[in-house]
A and B are shown apart, each in its own frame.
Chain A
Amino acid sequence: MRMFATIAKLLVKRVLTAIPILLLVSALLFCILRILPVDPAAMSLPPNATVQEVEAMRTEMGLNLPLYQQYGIWLNKLFHGDIGRSIHFRQDVTSLIGSTLPATIELALIAMVVATVFGLAGGLFLFYVRGTRAEAVMDFLSILLLSLPEFLWSLFLLLIFGVFFEVLPFTGRLSPGFERPVVTGFLLLDSLITGKISTFLNALQHMILPCLALGIALSPSLMRVLRSSLLDVYQDDYIQQARLRGLSEKRILIRHGLKNAILPTLSLMGVQFGFLFGGTLLVEIIYSYPGMGNLMVDAIRNADLPIIQGAGLTYCIAVLVISIVVDSLYMILNPKLRAR
């Protein structure tokens, strides 16, 4: 019970500190994007608009007001759930983000699972081969892996499994001919709810390569942290004690080693998963995956300010949420912090 109270306290504290961060981030976004040499008013009008029409539009859009007032108006609208209309798509930014965000969340979540599995397995293996000749080789390999970012992994996997062997699809979310069920917006979930197993499997197939690319790219750093914290833990007396008590090595590893070594790995995950969420952008573009990354890049290419602001802010919120969740997990698993 006390644990829940502490975690609740932590959550409240973290959410409260997240608010000023988000305010500052939004101000930062607003300022960066206002130095742009493009004129949103001129962009919202047909190319043959007169100077007077553009000027009228500028006044209507509030572009002639001082910067801080513009920010105030924008912020006020933001609180009312209105982050503007896309200049290019002529749609509300909220609905554009609402239709692309679930795809990105699905991608990121599955990729996190992949990264965790590979990271833990690899870390345990690196630790298992400690002191043997294989260690040097594995260590070298992990640096090799560390030098391949998700962006290169995506292309690499796409070439191997998509182009050379043609075993997996690599564009979009569904093959042609499949209909998209819409309930919650999360495709995997929706196809399960509506009972369309073939759609679910097809969508899953499309996600294998992007998730693998993201997950594998993230795992080497997790592996290395897990290995070095396991090495640290095994220096401690209680491991020796456990050996003296006659526990099997496997039991020592799981009950004593891993349980203590997992904490530094977990705290790294908080930061890494935040980066992973940003990394989805590239992976989405490479696999033509209809998520927020593609929306963002489209917006950037068209200098569509409302989308850039809205999507940028959404990415920040995602990073903050991920870090709060990981911190709470850290709290649950770490008895030292809990006692305080």
Chain B
Amino acid sequence: MRPIPLWLKSGRVQTGLVIIFILGICAIFAPYLAPNDPNEQNLLSILTPPVWIDGGDAMFPLGTDSLGRCVLSRLIFGARVALTVAFSASIGAMIIGAFFAHVAGYFGGWVDWVIGRVVEIWLSFPPVILSLILMVGLGTGLRNVVLAIILVDWTRFCRVLRSEVIVLRQRDYVSAAQLVGFSHWRTITREILPGTLPLLITLMSLEMGVAIIVEAILSFVGMSVGSETAAWGQMIADARQNIYEAPFNLIAPIFAIFFAVFGFNILGDGLRRTLDTRLTQTERS
């Protein structure tokens, strides 16, 4: 079992990784892959259809938007915003969520009570509403989008991981570590964290999908990155205005978001099936 990790053999994990790899290539090499400057306006050729439809222009393979900007180029550059948000927001939310989950689950008592109540307050806000309100307070920009998503979604990690920590805390090897005189910090990081890691990784993969959706929602209502940066949600908002003339402009970013979220979801599902030791054999098949 050592040489090839079990989780890498899963078709789901492989599918997810391939999708994320493709998106990653698009994001990193965007300036070389995009046929045009994503912000260049060609006011003489606005709302041209994709190249395979009559009237399409080979210069703009997926057509142009209402300002004559190349849809394909904006799509490719949009991957940058999406992936930046996906990775940084999920890592941030994971760190905060996992920290509080471990502290709450490990120490229990009033610490657990306080953290539990804070999570409860957070959950009484619908996530979309809370992130919008935070964006009003923080102001637009990529950094603030990431911050808003972290501030909203850390509870997802905290809630799920806390109960896992409580289970692990009662294991004999944890008591043994405490008896040997390990510090709390060392017990948590050396004995408990390795046990929660599979769940943590799975949650993170799912969170990346959530972060992409939230960013798309925020940029759809114009509360994300500024208008000079291409983002998928913005493309949707723009295409919504010309839905009859250029329906394809709407389909392209919808598909991009779906493709990215699907990649992270299928990766997360694959990881859950292979890493979670408590799943029954039938569930895993």
Which A residues are within 8 Å of any B CB, using their own CB?
21-22, 24-25, 28-29, 32-33, 35-37, 143-144, 146-149, 151-152, 155-156, 158-159, 163-164, 228, 231, 271, 274-275, 277-279, 281-282, 285-286, 296-297, 300-301, 303, 308, 312, 315-316, 319-320, 323
Contacts and interface: CB of A to CB of B under 8 A. Distances in A.
Given A33-B136, A155-B236, A300-B136, 16 more contacts: A24-B121, A25-B125, A32-B134, A33-B133, A36-B136, A36-B137, A147-B258, A147-B262, A151-B213, A156-B254, A278-B127, A281-B126, A300-B132, A300-B135, A316-B124, A319-B123
28 contacts: A21-B121, A22-B124, A25-B125, A32-B137, A33-B137, A37-B139, A143-B266, A149-B261, A159-B247, A163-B244, A164-B247, A231-B283, A271-B123, A274-B124, A275-B127, A278-B125, A278-B127, A279-B126, A281-B128, A286-B240, A303-B136, A308-B133, A308-B136, A312-B125, A315-B125, A316-B124, A316-B125, A319-B126
Given A156-B254, A228-B283, A151 B262 contact: no
A316 B129 CA distance: 9
Interface of B: 120-121, 123-129, 132-137, 139, 209, 213, 216-217, 220-223, 236, 240, 243-244, 247, 250-251, 254, 257-258, 261-262, 265-266, 269, 282-283
B121 A275 contact: no
A151 B215 CA distance: 12
Contacts of B265: 143, 146-147
Nearest to B221: A297
B223 A282 contact: no
Contacts of B250: 155, 159
A275 B214 CA distance: 13
A279 to B, nearest CB: 7
A279 B128 CA distance: 7
A159 B247 CA distance: 7
Contacts of A301: 222
Contacts of A35: 137
A112 B94 CA distance: 30
Contact of B254 (A29, A37, A152): A152
A285 to B, nearest CB: 7
B247 A163 contact: yes
B143 to A, nearest CB: 16
A315 B136 contact: no
A278 B128 contact: yes
Contact of A315 (B126, B222, B283): B126
